[in-house]
Amino acid sequence: MAKKAAHTAPDNGSDISTEYSISQLSQEFDVTTRSIRHYEDIGLLSPNRRGQTRIYSQADRTRLRLILRGKRLGLSLEDSREIIDMYEPGKTNIDQLKKLIDAIQLQRHKLNQQLDDISKLLKDLNQAEADCIDALKTNGSQ
């Protein structure tokens, strides 16, 4: 009785079985539905279906969030796949685990490199800004 249409909204917000439509995710993350379907095409997402319609779970939503974070960091979708696959359960194969640890080292290295790059860039930007302001003061009165 307390059950409304499940594809509209379940009765509470923090349900573990919360579902999302493709357009909901599209709006929430400001990404086109085309992109979301593309991520599925290349196997980065695999939502359940109700009939033909895609139904996204919390886990799917998290994966999408990770994909988009990767994009902001300039990773390719393949890079993101590697990272995201690290979170998957059932990686109990020992060789897999060792390979994973190596992959993690590598990613960490890349990220530290990025941190370095960013701090340099931020310094540069600060300097550039200071120069601008300086030029405005010096030059603005002429």
Q: Which stretch binds DNA (CB under 7 A): 69-77, 84-92, 94-102, 112-120?
A: 69-77
Q: Which does 120 bind (CB under 5 to 8 A by kind): a copy of itself, DNA, none?
A: a copy of itself
Torsion, CA 49, CA 34, CA 65, CA 103, rounded to 10: 100
* Coil, helix or strand at residue 107: helix
Give min distance, CB of 31 to DNA, in A: 7
Residues 21-40 touching DNA, rule: CB under 7 A, are 21-24, 26, 32-35, 37-38
Distances (CA, A) of 69 to 18, 60, 72, 77: 22, 14, 5, 11
Q: What is the DSSP letter of 42?
A: T
Residue 59 interacting with a copy of itself (CB under 8 A): no
Contact (Cβ atoms closer than 8 angstroms) between residue 11 and residue 3: yes
Determine the Cα–Cα distance for residues 11 and 14; give it in Å rounded to an integer: 10
Sign of CA dihedral 33, 37, 40, 41: negative
Q: Which amino acid is at 47?
A: P
Q: Pick the closer one to DNA by CB: 41 or 95.
A: 41
Nearer to DNA, 23 or 93 (CB): 23
Contacting a copy of itself (CB under 8 A), which of 7, 34, 37, 69?
Answer: 69
Residue ranges in contact with a copy of itself by CB under 8 A: 69, 71-75, 83, 86-87, 91-92, 94, 97-98, 100-101, 104, 107-108, 111, 113-115, 117-118, 120-122, 124-125, 128-129, 132-133, 135-136, 139-140
